[in-house]
Chains A and B, each alone.
Chain A
Amino acid sequence: MKRTTEKIAEQFETFQILNEEGKVVNEEAMPNLSDDELKELMTRMVYTRILDQRSIALNRQGRLGFYAPTAGQEASQLGSQFALEQDDFILPGYRDVPQLIWHGLPLYKAFLFSRGHFIGNQMPEGVNALSPQIIIGAQYVQTAGVAMGLKRRGKNAVAITYTGDGGTSQGDFYEGMNFAGAFNSPAIFVVQNNRFAISTPVEKQTAAETLAQKAVAAGIEGIQVDGMDVLAVYVATKEARERALNGEGPTLIEALTYRYGPHTMAGDDPTRYRSEELDNEWERKDPLVRFRKFLEEKGIWSEEEENAVIERAKEEIKAAIKEADNTPKQKVTDLIGNMYETLPGNLQEQMEEYKAKESK
């Protein structure tokens, strides 16, 4: 007789389309993407890798503030976002700024978010998203509500949210999925398992063999996907979206990925807890390397094209930082003004007090 845990883990085999050499290993699952769409996916991944490199550099120069590196996670972040439509609503975690950018958040606002300026959190009209969530798990319970709301409004849209491997230990992680399941709401829950929550390896989070199987506790679909394979992530998200819109309920997607950099730029040093061997092993799985090989094999990607993307990224980043620099400084009266629709008495008083200070 098999142990229950064995039987469960068997149902969550890793879904992969492209292997590390960029070869299609699952022809049947290949998405129906045009050459232009495939190139757009690569463009976004290259751009985001450059954005990460520049963000780290800008952070070191003191020109950015809070920053959580993304290199390594391009396939899981952008492959999933690529499967969305404009009406879909994103509830990102703090590392999920790239999804917001490709969903429509202007780059300079992403930089203002990093620096700590309220304008960075003002989503433009039609960009359906919340700003990055710092409280790990909160985005999951909120997703259950957004998804219920979209369904009630009769919208042909889903709510998608992201957390990390460590986040699967939170109560809100379970509650969010369980609520979405109980209400059969159109939600997609993504776990980006990059194997470490700061310094704590995933093995110390749970005895569960996969994180995808945690879907079982909510009675919803769960899938484990190669998070370094952009096509696999795209297909998994696309299918989850279709099921959600067909009224078949939410899905949990575990993307197996890796962050090449530190947890954040606030002094984390991954050499304290990660071996060089492990880093090397995951660098061989780089999502850009395998997708580049795949596109080059098809004859639709070249070094020139890649360099053009890199140049464009660098220029746009430069322009965005400049725009962020030119954003007016925040005043206490701005902060007070953003608290309530109608200011209560205490804040009316404080508004007057700070108006006087600011006019000096």
Chain B
Amino acid sequence: MAQMTMIQAITDALRTELKNDENVLVFGEDVGQNGGVFRATEGLQAEFGEDRVFDTPLAESGIGGLAIGLATQGFRPVPEIQFFGFVYEVMDSISGQMARMRYRSGNTMNAPITIRSPFGGGVHTPEMHADSLEGLMAQQPGLKVVIPSNPYDAKGLLIASIRDNDPVIFLEHMKLYRSFRDEVPEEAYEVELGKAKVTREGNDITFIAYGAMVQASVKAAEELEKEGISAEVIDLRTVSPLDTETIVESVKKTGRAVVVQEAQRQAGVAAHIVAEIQERAILHLEAPVLRVAAPDTVYAFTQAEEVWLPNHNDIVEKAKEVINY
């Protein structure tokens, strides 16, 4: 075991898979010699060579096409989109093409591609860097969308994503890159895709969260504990497909739920989770399922992040609303 930040765990997962499978190729803008704008690919080109880890021209759509073409030749591409706000440039390659590869070929071809991309607020980035756009990806059949909230999960989920034979969008929250360390095993291990984790057990209310909102939910749960309210926190880890079973099981136990996301209320995946709960557990609910989400505006100007982004106080407030319904 070693103490690692999330970014170190990600680099470690990439190194593990580059070593494990010679078909794995890591490429993108500045991921080679530079080691990535966040150092996620630091040292990988030196260790594995320019054939395995390489820079590309500055064109996201081209990067997506490159990944698809390489997949047809049996490679396992792990491209990077520098910031997920730039996904609009490559929406066709992702949603229009790789997500449909297996289906459109009648299961004769596949796209074992893992797209890594940073996103998320709280670190004062310029425009179009921090936007939460996982909701767009979650609506596309053929994709899996993975969002780790800690170093241990990041490594295990990334290894599982790279080994998956269908395309995976792996979103890395920038605020979580170096915010804390965690025990991370040095060997290869997988965290199963599509499986949520109960991060904190509780009996009175369920918080369903992902990304940076997991920590915020835990913090909210700790505050509520002082007031005698026991909150259970579920970390989705994969936002598409949803682990409906874990969610429903928890809600049946607590009878109350709040879904927490950083994305705007009209975006993200919270509405989908609410819908699944009402279809599967309505008779167990003591109160409506409420959502914590950002306002339905364009992502905040840098200096407005603090007042705009959802935080633990919003969760505490919303939880009390549900409890006192």
Contacts and interface: CB of A to CB of B under 8 A. Distances in A.
B51 A145 contact: no
A341 B165 contact: yes
A131 B105 contact: yes
Contacts of B38: none
Contacts of A143: 65, 69
B72 A146 contact: yes
Interface string A104-140: 0000000000000011011100000011000100101
A153 B74 CA distance: 9
Contacts of A345: 194, 241-245
Interface stretch (B89-97, B224-232, B294-302): B89-97
B323 interface: no
Contacts of A148: 66, 69-70
A135 B165 CA distance: 24
Interface in B37-90: 51, 56-57, 59, 61-62, 64-75
B56 A179 contact: yes
B106 A152 contact: no
Contacts of B165: 341
Interface in A19-65: none
B105 A123 contact: yes
Contacts of B194: 344-345
Interface in A151-200: 152-153, 159, 171-172, 175-176, 178-179, 182
- The SS class assigned to the A binding surface is helix
A142 interface: yes
Given A148-B66, A340-B142, A335 B103 contact: yes
B102 interface: yes
A340 B102 contact: yes
Contacts of A153: 73-74
B92 A138 contact: yes
A149 B27 CA distance: 13
Nearest to A346: B241
B144 interface: yes
B102 A142 contact: no
Nearest to B97: A138
Contact of A339 (B56, B96, B103): B103
A149 B142 CA distance: 23
Contact of B70 (A130, A149, A344): A149
Contacts of A339: 102-103, 141-142
Interface string B104-132: 11111110000000000000000000000
A243 to B, nearest CB: 20
B166 interface: yes
A153 B75 CA distance: 10
A71 interface: no
A247 interface: no
B69 A182 contact: no
A354 to B, nearest CB: 15
A146 B69 CA distance: 4
A144 interface: yes
A135 B92 contact: yes
Given A119-B106, A149-B73, A339-B141, A141 B245 contact: no
Contacts of B241: 344-347
A163 to B, nearest CB: 13
A130 B106 CA distance: 12
A337 B72 contact: no
A119 B106 CA distance: 6
A145 B66 CA distance: 4
A119 B105 CA distance: 8
A149 B68 CA distance: 10
Given A338-B107, A339-B102, A171 B61 contact: yes
A338 B61 contact: no
Interface of B: 51, 56-57, 59, 61-62, 64-75, 92-93, 96-97, 102-110, 141-142, 144, 164-166, 194, 241-245
15 contacts: A89-B72, A121-B106, A123-B105, A135-B96, A138-B92, A144-B65, A145-B68, A146-B69, A149-B72, A172-B92, A178-B57, A337-B107, A341-B164, A344-B241, A345-B245
Closest 8 CB pairs of A and B: A145-B69, A141-B65, A149-B73, A344-B241, A175-B62, A146-B69, A118-B106, A122-B106
Given A338-B106, A339-B141, 12 more contacts: A121-B106, A123-B108, A138-B93, A142-B65, A145-B69, A148-B69, A148-B70, A175-B57, A176-B62, A341-B102, A345-B245, A346-B242
